[in-house]
Amino acid sequence: MFGNWVKTSMLMAGIVALFGAVGAMIGGRDGMLLALVFGGATNLWAYWFSDKMVLRMYRARQVDESSSPYLHNMVRDLARRADLPMPKVYVIDEAQPNAFATGRNPENAAVAATTGIMQMLSERELRGVMAHELAHVKNRDILISTISATVAGAISMLAQFGMFFGGRDDDRPNPVIAIAMMILAPMAAMIIQMAISRTREFGADRGGAEISGDPEALASALAKIEAYARGIPMHAAEAHPETAQMMIMNPLSGGGLRGLFSTHPATAERIARLRAMVR
């Protein structure tokens, strides 16, 4: 828990610094100060509201025991096994099989699954996937994941301001540098996400296997998800690629620059580690 708070604090500090650098390139000293204030406000807002924003991006609808007893009761049972508070449960109307967890702590957590994953996986495999998401909650990965997704979008937006704003004196940036910042700032945000995401997926795989008591089920689910997800676009993720690192499997098509920013470790390695637990 302490380690995740350190990582979260470092991420927030890095985000504010990046905002300041972009602001300086766009508007000199005044631009840097304004961007630093904006970065601090964004961090504060993201801490409290980023989970709601992400769920809204995916048009997720909350379900309960009466509207989706299959998924709700499954999550409730797994939460008890993990000794976690019952999270809110959401369903996303997307054909691609995928799932994610969000929230600032276990007491304010939510898990979401697509209709595609519920239809495609067996009950045993889906239990493995939802246990994986609860492992993210238990490991307190969800805060840093959700904040990074939210502010990455904000950084991209800030960088784009370079096309429209700038000083009218010597502080005005070189147009080439401004364009470079418009490209590099979103890339920097993606690199931050990559550093977070790769190692935490292995930890959530192991934790999910322990919660469900069935490593092979999660391994089987990952193989199925990868096989089908590549051929089924996820429109919300394509519109908000900064949220891709929250998913159990990379939901992006991989075309263009997106292919350079894979936010998940190789599925084959994840499966091999899970099957090693079985042996």
Domain count, the chain: 1
Q: Verify whether residue 210 is a known catalytic residue.
A: no
Name which residue leads in pLDDT, 57 or 43.
Answer: 57
Which pLDDT belongs to residue 16?
74
- Residue 231 pLDDT > 90: no
Please report the pLDDT score of residue 261 as a whole number: 53
Residues near 173 by beta carbon (within 8 Å), at least 6 away in sequence: 25, 26, 27, 28, 162, 166, 167, 181
Range of the domain at 135: 2-278
Q: What are the pLDDT digits (tens) for 160-183?
A: 555 555 444 455 555 655 666 666
What is the average pLDDT score of the chain? Answer: 82
What H or E segment, with its residue span, contains residue 88?
strand 88-92
pLDDT in tens, 176-203: 556 666 666 666 666 666 656 677 899 9
pLDDT score, position 73? 97
**From the candidates 94, 125, 133, 226, which is the catalytic residue?**
133
Q: Per-residue pLDDT for 18 more than 50?
A: yes
Q: Which of 35-44, 129-138, 212-221 has the lowest mean pLDDT?
A: 35-44
Q: Is the pTM of this model over 0.75?
A: yes
pLDDT of residue 67: 96
Q: Are 157 and 65 in contact (CB under 8 A)?
A: no
Q: Where are the alpha helices (DSSP H) in the chain?
A: 2-57, 69-82, 115-120, 123-138, 142-160, 175-212, 215-229, 235-239, 267-278
